Amino acid sequence: MRFDEKEKLFRLGDSSREAIARRLRAGRMATGLSQQDFAKSVELKKTTYSAQENGDSSPSIAVMRALYREYRIDFNYVLHGDFSQLPSDVQDKLIEALSSF
């Protein structure tokens, strides 16, 4: 995939609630976990995590910390769409997830 195509798909620089929620959802999908299982892994209620993934609230530090520590997905991706620091295998998983919706 060309760089400009990645910029568009990842919505690089777009910090709107909608863009952050979309990237958060793709990040969780890249982990292979359901909302329920991911929420449980970060010790949140499913409804609390779901609100973050739907853009009704901002991603919590616990969620961003878990994405980074466990799955190598950093906050720059979640908040700004910056994929440049992500390992290529992680980028590939996120591309697949982002392309699915």
CATH number, position 83: 1.10.260.40
pLDDT in tens, 46-100: 999 999 999 999 999 999 999 999 999 999 999 999 999 999 999 999 999 999 9
* pTM listed for this prediction: 0.95
Count of Cβ atoms closer than 10 Å to residue 18 Cβ: 11
44-51 contact pairs (CB < 8 A, 24+)? none
pLDDT at res. 71:
97
pLDDT at res. 86:
97
Mention every residue, 6+ apart, whose C-beta is less than 8 A from residue 42.
49, 60, 62, 63, 66
Q: How many domains is the chain partitioned into structurally? A: 1
Range of the domain at 41: 3-99
pLDDT at res. 18:
97
Using 50, 70 and 90 to split pLDDT, how confident is the model at 19? very high
